[in-house]
Amino acid sequence: MPGFCLRLSVILQHLGWCWDGCQAPPDRIEGWAVEAVADFLEGYAVPMARRIFGEAALPQVERDAHGLARWLVDQKPVPKIVNARNLRRMANGPGIPDAERIAAALAELANSGWVRPAPGRAGGHGRQRDDWAVNPAVLSLGR
């Protein structure tokens, strides 16, 4: 960051020179420019970079699970049961496009206690639905 701070300080010093209309260009970087840039980096740029790059560094399954969890909480009311196939096909769903990623995200949420596989059909005949019961504690988050 020190090199970045210095480069931005040079730019800010020159912007100040342009603003003031002085004839001679600056021959040094003044303290106000360094302080302003350091405050900007510390208070805004570095925290934003950590937030952006931190989430991007997560594996795809964790990003999908976070997106699905956010989608669940945003529903009014939070559904008691979700179906993997319907989640993938919803126009206003969590935005996870394929079955493998939905399955992995649901498994990740199951490991975290957000969902659990819902009981199958009685008798076990035919293809079972890929339903997941949402934890009642999550249901209360959406209210």
CATH (domain of 73):
1.10.10.10
What per-residue confidence (pLDDT) applies to 127?
62
Same domain, residue pair 65 and 97: yes
Taking the model in full, what pTM does it have? 0.58
Tell me, what's the pLDDT at 105?
94
Can you give the pLDDT at residue 61?
A: 92
Statement to judge: residues 87 and 107 lie in one domain? yes
Task: Give the separation between CA 89 and CA 108, rounded to whole angstroms.
Answer: 20
Q: Are 141 and 73 in contact (CB under 8 A)?
A: yes
Q: Which pLDDT value is given to residue 108? A: 95
**What per-residue confidence (pLDDT) applies to 64?**
92
41 and 72 belong to one structural domain: no
pLDDT number for residue 2: 73
Domain residues for the domain of 99 are 60-120+129-141
The count of domains in the chain is: 2
- Whether residues 42 and 82 fall in one domain: no
Q: What percent of the chain has pLDDT above 70?
A: 90
Q: Looking at the structure, do residues 71 and 134 belong to the same domain, yes or no?
A: yes
Q: Are 85 and 44 in contact (CB under 8 A)?
A: no
Q: For residue 68, what is the enclosing H or E element?
A: helix 60-74
Picking from 48, 47, 36, 39, the residue whose alpha carbon sits closest to that of residue 11 is 36
Whether 47 and 74 map to the same domain: the answer is: no
What is the per-residue pLDDT for 55?
67
pLDDT value, residue 38: 94
Average pLDDT over residues 81-95: 88
- Token code pair at residue 136: 């009642």
**Residue 82: per-residue pLDDT:** 92
Closest of 111, 105, 113 to residue 88, by C-alpha: 105
Q: Are residues 89 and 70 in the same domain?
A: yes
Q: What is the pLDDT of residues 27-71, one digit of tens each?
A: 899 999 999 999 999 999 998 988 888 766 788 899 899 999 999
* Whether residues 95 and 135 fall in one domain: yes
Return the pLDDT at 95.
87
Count of positions (residues) in the chain: 143
The overall average pLDDT reported for the chain is 86
